[in-house]
Protein backbone atom coordinates (compact mmCIF):
# COMPACT_ATOMS: atom_id res chain seq x y z
CA UNK A 1 0.00 0.00 0.00
CA UNK A 2 1.14 3.53 -0.76
CA UNK A 3 1.53 6.08 2.03
CA UNK A 4 -0.54 9.20 1.28
CA UNK A 5 2.06 11.41 2.98
CA UNK A 6 4.43 10.61 0.12
CA UNK A 7 2.22 12.46 -2.40
CA UNK A 8 3.67 15.83 -3.39
CA UNK A 9 1.78 18.62 -5.18
CA UNK A 10 4.57 20.33 -7.09
CA UNK A 11 3.03 23.76 -7.86
CA UNK A 12 6.06 24.88 -9.86
CA UNK A 13 5.92 21.97 -12.32
CA UNK A 14 2.11 21.68 -11.99
CA UNK A 15 2.10 17.98 -11.21
CA UNK A 16 1.33 15.54 -8.44
CA UNK A 17 4.35 13.37 -7.74
CA UNK A 18 4.89 10.08 -5.97
CA UNK A 19 8.35 8.58 -5.59
CA UNK A 20 8.55 4.95 -6.73
CA UNK A 21 11.90 3.38 -5.93
CA UNK A 22 14.37 5.46 -8.00
CA UNK A 23 11.68 6.87 -10.29
CA UNK A 24 8.60 9.10 -10.13
CA UNK A 25 4.91 8.60 -10.90
CA UNK A 26 3.29 11.86 -12.02
CA UNK A 27 -0.03 13.41 -12.93
CA UNK A 28 0.33 16.70 -14.77
CA UNK A 29 -2.37 19.31 -14.32
CA UNK A 30 -3.55 22.78 -15.24
CA UNK A 31 -5.43 24.86 -12.67
CA UNK A 32 -7.96 27.37 -14.02
CA UNK A 33 -10.57 29.18 -11.93
CA UNK A 34 -11.92 26.53 -9.53
CA UNK A 35 -11.17 23.62 -11.89
CA UNK A 36 -8.18 21.34 -12.15
CA UNK A 37 -7.56 19.71 -15.53
CA UNK A 38 -5.72 16.40 -15.10
CA UNK A 39 -3.88 16.17 -18.39
CA UNK A 40 -1.32 13.37 -18.25
CA UNK A 41 -0.66 10.29 -16.14
CA UNK A 42 2.91 8.94 -16.15
CA UNK A 43 3.79 5.78 -14.26
CA UNK A 44 7.28 4.24 -14.53
CA UNK A 45 7.47 1.26 -16.88
CA UNK A 46 8.77 -1.07 -14.18
CA UNK A 47 5.56 -0.57 -12.15
CA UNK A 48 3.12 -2.99 -13.74
CA UNK A 49 0.55 -3.20 -10.95
CA UNK A 50 -2.83 -1.76 -11.86
CA UNK A 51 -3.47 -1.51 -8.12
CA UNK A 52 -0.61 1.02 -7.87
CA UNK A 53 -2.24 3.23 -10.51
CA UNK A 54 -5.61 3.04 -8.76
CA UNK A 55 -4.11 3.87 -5.35
CA UNK A 56 -2.16 6.79 -6.83
CA UNK A 57 -5.31 8.19 -8.47
CA UNK A 58 -7.32 7.77 -5.24
CA UNK A 59 -4.66 9.76 -3.34
CA UNK A 60 -4.73 12.55 -5.93
CA UNK A 61 -8.53 12.72 -6.02
CA UNK A 62 -8.72 12.78 -2.21
CA UNK A 63 -6.18 15.61 -2.15
CA UNK A 64 -8.20 17.59 -4.70
CA UNK A 65 -11.46 16.85 -2.86
CA UNK A 66 -10.06 18.40 0.32
CA UNK A 67 -9.51 21.65 -1.61
CA UNK A 68 -13.08 21.63 -2.95
CA UNK A 69 -12.00 22.01 -6.59
CA UNK A 70 -13.80 20.54 -9.61
CA UNK A 71 -11.91 17.98 -11.69
CA UNK A 72 -11.79 17.75 -15.48
CA UNK A 73 -9.96 14.57 -16.52
CA UNK A 74 -8.54 15.03 -20.02
CA UNK A 75 -6.31 11.96 -19.88
CA UNK A 76 -8.01 8.74 -21.08
CA UNK A 77 -6.63 6.72 -18.14
CA UNK A 78 -7.92 9.23 -15.59
CA UNK A 79 -11.31 9.49 -17.32
CA UNK A 80 -11.59 5.68 -17.18
CA UNK A 81 -10.83 5.80 -13.44
CA UNK A 82 -13.61 8.37 -12.88
CA UNK A 83 -16.06 6.26 -14.90
CA UNK A 84 -15.32 3.25 -12.68
CA UNK A 85 -15.54 5.19 -9.40
CA UNK A 86 -18.89 6.94 -9.04
CA UNK A 87 -17.74 8.54 -5.81
CA UNK A 88 -15.45 10.87 -7.79
CA UNK A 89 -17.99 11.69 -10.51
CA UNK A 90 -19.54 14.30 -8.18
CA UNK A 91 -16.25 16.24 -8.47
CA UNK A 92 -16.86 16.89 -12.17
CA UNK A 93 -18.01 20.44 -13.05
CA UNK A 94 -21.65 21.01 -13.97
CA UNK A 95 -22.29 19.92 -17.55
CA UNK A 96 -19.28 17.57 -17.81
CA UNK A 97 -20.13 13.89 -18.16
CA UNK A 98 -17.79 10.98 -18.61
What pLDDT digit, counting tens, does each position of 11-21 carry? 999 999 999 88
The pLDDT tens digits of the residues spanning 46-59 come to 888 889 999 999 99
Phi first, then psi: what are they for 77, rounded to 5°? -65, -40
| Average of per-residue pLDDT values in the chain | 92
- Four-way CATH pick for 4-89: 1.10.10.10, 3.40.630.30, 3.40.50.800, 3.40.50.300: 3.40.630.30
CA dist 82 → 5, 6, 56, 58, 91 (Å): 22, 22, 13, 10, 9
Amino acid sequence: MIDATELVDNDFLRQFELKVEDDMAKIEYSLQDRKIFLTKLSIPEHVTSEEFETNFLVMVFENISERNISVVPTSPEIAKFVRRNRKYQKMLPVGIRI
